[in-house]
Structure 1
Amino acid sequence: MAELSRRQFVATAALTTGFAIAVQPIAQGVIRTDAQGLRAGTVRIPVADGEIPAYRAMPAMGANLPTILVIQEIFGVHEHIQDICRRLAKLGYLAIAPELFARQGDVSKLNQIDEIRAVVAQVPDGQVMSDLDATVTWAVGASQGNGKKLAITGFCWGGRITWLYAAHQPQVKTGVAWYGRLVGNATERTPRQPVDVAAQLRAPVLGLYGGQDTGIPLDTVALMRERLQAGTSSSQIVVYPEAPHAFFADYRPSYREADAQDAWNRLQVWLRQYGVSP
């Protein structure tokens, strides 16, 4: 994506209204959560160089709401991520998912995974941390969010970001990372990985991983556990032995209903345990 003026950037950034093209066809049993009793839809977040779109869902009534950042997979803030925001809103949370690839390109319109990875590879961690900081500021200042009850959860690409942001932002009280990569090479755009920040975590993070995930070897999970034990955050990792990568993605063949439901229940208990509950 070429460098754009602020006006051009604001005008072109948008959210998809359905599922990403690359994830078609959609599984028959996909979970669809309605917006009854909610305020749900696209909002715009002021950031350092303009605005980015985000999907926000929250109860129609109430204020000073516990706030959860929901971090996308590599497919962007498509319908699955939006539905997760609505599920959390039904539980009483202000859930908000900023489109963190907005400057680099619209991955929801791409149908080849290599094309998507090429776009995502251009997204610097520093940009992501700054955009999430701006999202928190907006949620608290303009959307009835409670900055003292702030959590983060993310999936796949967003699982990695969950670990990193929990180390970056002292306002975060807790997080839940779903099958996010834990190790990797240091680059200019991605200077640190979750294993590098594990011992410094202040907020406890619950990691949810699949034992059959071919992209996240169990030895890297073991290394992360070892690094976490050297810290003081009370973070934990749960591994579902028979689950593949993306076992929570109900729109994909990788979905494993029993493991997904157990993990969703664990998320709710974890949030309550660490003071982020309605």
Structure 2
Amino acid sequence: MCFDIDSDPPIPIISGAAVTHRDLVLAAEDGGLPAAFEAIGGGRVGVVVLPDVRGLYRFYEELALRLAEHGHDAVVIDYFCRTAGTGKRGEDFDYMPEVRQTTYEGVRLDTAAAVAHLRASDRERPVVTLGFCFGGSNSWHQAANGHGLAGAIGFYGHPNRPGFPQGSPAVMARIAEIECPILALQGGDDPGIPVEESDAFRRALTEAGIRNEVVVYEGAPHSFFDRKQADYAAECADAWERVLAFLAEVASPGAS
């Protein structure tokens, strides 16, 4: 997993922000009913949040609220409705058996349902995916899955790991299919994702003419974006500013 169950996003709360939130259930095209959490900030950009291997839990609900406080509507999806049912789960939820059964197509369908929800009243609305770890690489995959995204952001996703989830090629194998800008925020001391993989991802995107920013934070571990990671507070702050800048660019009429 990426974060402890009691971890928090390292983002200041904006007191008094006009934000509403709710639990909801989305409807995927295959009949799947993924649980989701929505935070509404009333802005132009919609954000689909793809969690780490634990699926939907408190860290990502808090992240959605922070996004909404900055004026973005955010929907966090869960991955496990087809194997574990729909609904909230306790802290003792055994997620790894569900992760092993999660499929590439299921993640695509659930993302499509979230995108459709965010575009329910505006079919031209810019929507961005934002993912972490398992969700990081899956965020980049969605950029090649025909959702018409305005951008795809991934924290410590692996760009060259096939089969995670089931049936998934490596992101690097799909560079030619990517249809939007990419932001990657990687730890330089992540044993699971060598810096060379992130460097190769940057080169491949650039050579394909895809607007991208692949940032590797020297010495930062996997899951550095966590309030508990006090030694990496500066890296967390920088990463968050890059996320906000990316979303602001997407929201502007001249964004490509």
Smaller-chain TM-score range?
A: 0.7 to 0.9
Moved more, 43-52 or 179-188: 179-188
- Which of 120, 127, 136 is matched with 1:159 structurally? 136
> Which whole-Å CA distance do the structure 1 matches of 2:123 and 2:40 have between them?
12
Q: What's the secondary structure of 2:27's corresponding residue?
A: strand
Q: What's the secondary structure of 1:54's corresponding residue?
A: strand
| Deviation at residue 155 of structure 1 after TM alignment | 0.8
- Which of 88, 108, 111 is matched with 1:129 structurally? 108
What one-letter code is carried by the residue in structure 1 that aligns with 2:220?
A: A
Q: Give the structure with the higher percent strand.
A: 1
| Deviation at residue 39 of structure 1 after TM alignment | 1.3
The match for 1:117 is 96
TM-score normalized by structure 2? 0.85
2:252 corresponds to 1:273: no
2:50 corresponds to 1:74: no
Which ranges in structure 1 are unaligned for 5 or more consecutive residues? 1-19
RMSD: 2.9
- Which of 182, 191, 214 is matched with 1:214 structurally? 191
| Deviation at residue 116 of structure 1 after TM alignment | 3.1
Larger radius of gyration: 1
The match for 1:248 is 225
> Which whole-Å CA distance do the structure 2 matches of 1:253 and 1:52 have between them?
31
Give the alignment of 1:163-202 within 5 angstroms: 163-186=140-163, 189-202=166-179
What one-letter code is carried by the residue in structure 2 that aligns with 1:225?
A: R
> Which whole-Å CA distance do the structure 2 matches of 1:29 and 1:202 have between them?
29
| Deviation at residue 201 of structure 1 after TM alignment | 1.6
Q: What's the secondary structure of 1:154's corresponding residue?
A: strand
Moved more, 184-193 or 254-263: 184-193
> Which whole-Å CA distance do the structure 1 matches of 2:212 and 2:195 have between them?
17
> Which whole-Å CA distance do the structure 2 matches of 1:79 and 1:187 have between them?
23
> Which whole-Å CA distance do the structure 1 matches of 2:61 and 2:12 have between them?
10
Contact kept? 2:9, 2:226, Cα under 8 Å: no
- Tell me: CA distance 1:153–1:188, structure 2 relative to 1, closer, same or farther (3 Å): closer
What one-letter code is carried by the residue in structure 2 that aligns with 1:139?
A: L
Which ranges in structure 2 are unaligned for 5 or more consecutive residues? none
Give CA deviations for 1:172-195 in whole Å, capped at 9, x if unaligned.
011211101112245892331111
Contact kept? 1:77, 1:99, Cα under 8 Å: yes
What one-letter code is carried by the residue in structure 2 that aligns with 1:43?
A: L
Contact kept? 1:35, 1:86, Cα under 8 Å: no
- Which of 56, 77, 80 is matched with 2:38 structurally? 56
TM-score normalized by structure 1? 0.79
Give CA deviations for 1:62-109 in whole Å, capped at 9, x if unaligned.
5x7321111101122111101110111111111001112222338954
Give CA deviations for 1:212-267 in whole Å, capped at 9, x if unaligned.
011111121122122212212111200000211011122x5587211011000011
What one-letter code is carried by the residue in structure 2 that aligns with 1:265?
A: E
